[in-house]
Structure formats: C-alpha cells, structure tokens
Amino acid sequence: MSLTTAPATAPTDDASATEPQRPRRAPRIGQSFAMFRNGKSLAGLAILGVFVVVAVLAPLIAPYDPLEKDFMALRQPPSAAHWLGTTHMGEDVFSQIVYGTRGVLVVGFLAGVLATLVAVIVGVVAGYVAGWRSESLSALTNVFLVIPGLPLIIIVASQYEDPPLMLIAGVLAITGWAWGARVLRAQTMSLRNRDFVQAAKANGEKLWRIIAVEMLPNLTAIIASSFVGTVTAAVLGLTTLAFIGVIPITNLNWGTILFWAQQNGAFPDYWWWYIPAGLCIALLGMALSLVNFGIDEYVNPRLRSAGERARAARRKGLQVDGGVTEVRTVSGTGDDARAG
C-alpha cells in the first residue's frame, strides 16, 4: 500500500476502533453527543462549564456585592482582601467579573438559541422547497448576511433608556442567524435528494415528519456548530456594545468593566482592572471555538491537524517522512500489514 493513503485512512480506523464499546441499546443519545467526544470539544465544554457554574453560583463565589463601594480602598492592586484589586470607586473587581459572567452567558445563549431557531427554520425550509420560495428565502438570508450588526444594535439600543437583555439578545440574534441558515440550506439541499428522503416520501410520510425526523438528525452537527458560532458572536457583540457604552451600566458584564476602566484612565497602570475581564472574554471565546473545532473534526476527520495524523500514522508503524511511492515492508508483524 502506498503511503499517500495513510492519512486518509487513519481517522476512520480510530472511529471504528471505538465503536464496539458503544452500548447497543439507547444508541440515539450516544450518537447525538458523539460529536463532543473528542479532546478539543471536551476541553471547550469544561471551560464553558466552569463559567456556567460561576454564573449560577455568583452570590456564593463573589466576596463582595459587585457595586458595593469602599472609599477607603480606591484603585487598590490585588491583595488578600481584594483578589483582583478595586476600581476607582472602591468596588471589588473580582466580584464584578463573577457577576458579569451572568450577563454575558445569558445574552450569549439567549441570542444563540433564537438565532439557531431562525437559522434552522429558514435554512432547512429554503433547502427543502424548490423554485421561487427557495430563492426568496435565500435572498432574505443574503440580505441579513450583509447587514452590519453593531451599527444596527446601536441604533436600536439608543431608542431605549434602558434596553432589556432580551432585546439585546434579540437584535444580536437577528444579525447573527444568516450564516447558519446558509450552511444549513446547502446541506439540506444535498440531503433532500438522498434516497432515504425519497423513500420516506414514497412511503407517504408527511412533509414536517420528513424534515423533523428524517433530515434534522442528520444535520445536528451543523446545527450545533452554528449555535456555538452565534453564541461566540453574541458574546463578542455584547461586550463590544458594553465597552463602547451603548448598554447602560446597570447591566453588569465584562464589557461594562472594560468601559469603566477605559473611562477612568485605567490603561496602562491599573492592569488588574482590565486584564482579567479581557482574559475572560478571550477564554470564553476560546472555549466556544474549541467546541466548534471538535464538531468540525467529527464531521470531517480530514480537518484533524497534520501533526495529529502523522502521529496516528507513526503509531501504526508507517514512515511519514518516506517517499510517496515507497511501499511499506511487511517484515514486521502480520497484524500491522492488515491494519493498513
């Protein structure tokens, strides 16, 4: 066998190796979550889990009320009393970050759920129907794809004295669903003509059942990745809005912390005020991206990094650096020869 085929076969071998351990009964749930069962996704989900726990248990974790002012301790560097120092008003930065996690996650996930819902409905319907209906839904998607999100939100938010979180999440969803809908439409179009969908049709299944039961389960990986993508975009959107001061200070999140830090000349001396908030945003973004990378690799094993493939090939006893046309010698064990 030539070495050129080694990288392509390695991932499939890995996948089939894990299969027999799967329980035969109740395989549906197992299969739905299979896309998260890899290092990258698990690492991302773990970080995400920590943030969720922090958001839920904020009152237990935070040592102070986030808006409690201590005028005896202004702009204090980190100490035992204030782990991440204090602001210009003597507020505890650590408590603000802990409470700020709530706003970020609530808006992020709310926007993600709303946007995914719209993307699935528009994308799958546009992919399933044909003709002018598909074209017009596709045109609608394209329009929303080019609507600049931030300016729209600034305009909408400026109509309100105190825009509710729901509204912010809604606007972030409106500007964020289009990409997912496009990807879903393309995938649905390819599913629509598969024989198993035709067979369901010929069996007399109703349209909604064909879409919901026969097609949607085959789209779960794409839906999940589009959900994670919109959550990331919504988190970044929210913190940006808070940072530029569109969202009022009553809504505490990491962006608000950065806003106050910037307003009060924290850069660059009072590093404890802005670096932790910035790191949290980066960490959450990284966690969500890791989950997405994991899903992508589950869908398309060829996306696994070249180094990983090379390691997998080496484990099988293949010489990765060898010439392309070189033929593997079978002087080793017979097992190896068959495994390739």
Looking at the Cβ atoms of 194 and 315, the one nearer to other proteins is: 194
Q: Could you say which of 130, 147, 199, 327 contacts other proteins (CB under 8 A)?
A: 199
Q: Could you say which of 75, 201, 314, 316 contacts other proteins (CB under 8 A)?
A: 201
Q: Say how many residues touch other proteins, by CB under 8 A.
A: 18
Looking at the Cβ atoms of 23 and 148, the one nearer to other proteins is: 23
Residue 15 in the binding site for other proteins (CB under 8 A): no
d(CA 328, CA 41): 35
Minimum gap (Å) between residue 199 Cβ and other proteins: 5
Looking at the Cβ atoms of 151 and 217, the one nearer to other proteins is: 217
d(CA 51, CA 324): 47
Minimum gap (Å) between residue 17 Cβ and other proteins: 15
Residue span binding other proteins (CB under 8 A) among the ranges 6-14, 157-165, 168-176, 201-209: 201-209
> Contacts with other proteins in 23-42 (CB under 8 A)?
24-25, 27, 31
Minimum gap (Å) between residue 303 Cβ and other proteins: 20
Looking at the Cβ atoms of 196 and 267, the one nearer to other proteins is: 196
Tell the residue number behind the tokens 């409905």, with chain if given.
121
Minimum gap (Å) between residue 201 Cβ and other proteins: 6
SS (H, E, C) the chain: CEHHHHHHHHHHHHHHHHHHHCCCCCHHHHHHCHHHCCHHHHHHHHHHHHHHHHHHCHHHHCCCCCCCCCCCCCCCCCCCCCCCCECCCCCEHHHHHHHHHHHHHHHHHHHHHHHHHHHHHHHHHHHHCCCHHHHHHHHHHHHHHHCCHHHHHHHHHCCCCCCCHHHHHHHHHHHHCHHHHHHHHHHHHHHHCCHHHHHHHHCCCCHHHHHHHHHHHHHHHHHHHHHHHHHHHHHHHHHHHHHCCCCCCCCCCHHHHHHHHHHCCCCCCCHHHHHHHHHHHHHHHHHHHHHHHHHHHHHCHHHCCHHHHHHHHHHCCCCCCCCCCCECCCCCCHHHHHHC
Minimum gap (Å) between residue 225 Cβ and other proteins: 17
Minimum gap (Å) between residue 204 Cβ and other proteins: 5
Looking at the Cβ atoms of 71 and 208, the one nearer to other proteins is: 208
Residue span binding other proteins (CB under 8 A) among the ranges 126-134, 200-208, 262-270, 272-280: 200-208
Size (the chain), residues: 340
Minimum gap (Å) between residue 112 Cβ and other proteins: 24
Q: What is the dihedral sign for C-alpha 249, 253, 255, 258?
A: positive
> Contacts with other proteins in 158-197 (CB under 8 A)?
194-196
Minimum gap (Å) between residue 9 Cβ and other proteins: 17
> Contacts with other proteins in 205-234 (CB under 8 A)?
205, 214, 217-218
Residues making contact with other proteins (CB under 8 A): 24-25, 27, 31, 194-196, 198-205, 214, 217-218
